[in-house]
Amino acid sequence: MSWVAVGAAAVSAVGGIANGMLNKAQAPAQAQYTPVNPAEIESQTVNAALSNLGSAQSLSSSTNAFNSQQALQALNTALPGYSGLASSLMGQASSLAANPYAIPQSVVGQLSQYAAENNINEGTGASSGFSGSNTLRSLGINALQYGQTNLQTASGLLSTLTGTAPNVAPTSPLSFMLSPSSVLSNQQLTNTTQQASQQAANNATAAANNYNTANLWDSLTASQGSMNSLYAALTGGTNIGSGGGTSVGTIAPSTANAEISALGGTTGAASFMP
């Protein structure tokens, strides 16, 4: 077999391989999703919450105190003297609720002075020891009704204070902690994002590999045409198609070199010796 025959076989092989590989693009690798264990997430989240509970309670207490102070300052700015008035009303309500049947000391003093000025004998009228029941009776007031009236007054004062006091919603320690459901949702989103990112990287890698492979086979198929032309010039025959080679006789080295030079190549005569 001559070197021309070997070249013919190479031309045929290049054609066969190129035709078989051009349409077989490499598929990208499939990125895998990492499953999330809900029970494990819940256990980790609850344990973390328990370990931080003391700090969360302290922060919650400080937050509530600060918010209440800020709200009271704002109310004193809108209603100057509010804090003093509220303190006075609270004192009155507390006194009436604690001693609903007590007669104000100012009233007792006035009655004592009146009795002394009019020489009221002991045991008569409003002078009988000035006990609570005797004094009320002397004034024509029912003791039970008097006490109930004082309790109603105290309740009214308390309602007034409650209605005008700053309304600050308390902050729960739980607001500073993560819930298992939120942690689970975030972890699932993170794993999904990582899967999508890895898939994008796999797609890019496969596309680059397929592009490089296509360029390689384009070069091979292009060189097949030059080799066919060279074979035809050397043998005086026709170009070799894809699928097989033909054994031919030995040609003169000078002829081979001349034809290769015409096609833009350079080689030595010994390359074409049998």
- More confident call, 131 vs 50: 50
Can you say how many angstroms the Cα of residue 185 is from the centroid of all Cα atoms in its chain? 8
Tokens of 99: 């001693």
Q: pTM to 2 decimals?
A: 0.46
**Mean pLDDT of the chain, nearest integer:** 74
Is residue 46 over pLDDT 50?
A: yes
Mean pLDDT highest for which of 74-78, 140-144, 163-167? 74-78
| Site of tokens 């097949």 | 224
Per-residue pLDDT tens for 147-188?
A: 888 888 888 888 888 888 888 888 999 889 999 999 999 999
Domain ranges of the chain: 3-29+179-272, 53-176
How many other β-carbons are positioned within 10 Å of the β-carbon of residue 186? Answer: 13
With helix as H, strand as E and coil as C, how does 116-180 read?
A: HHCCCCCCCHHHCCCCHHHHHHHCCCCHHHHHHHHHHHHHHHHHHHHHHCCCCCCCCHHHHCCCH
DSSP letters for 61-120:
HHHHHHHHHHHHHHHHHHSTTHHHHHHHHHHHHHHHHH-TTPPPHHHHHHHHHHHHHTTP
Question: Is-contact 221 16, C-beta < 8 A?
Answer: no
Q: What is the pLDDT of residue 19?
A: 54
pLDDT in tens, 205-225: 988 888 877 776 566 666 555
Which one has a higher pLDDT value, 186 or 105?
186
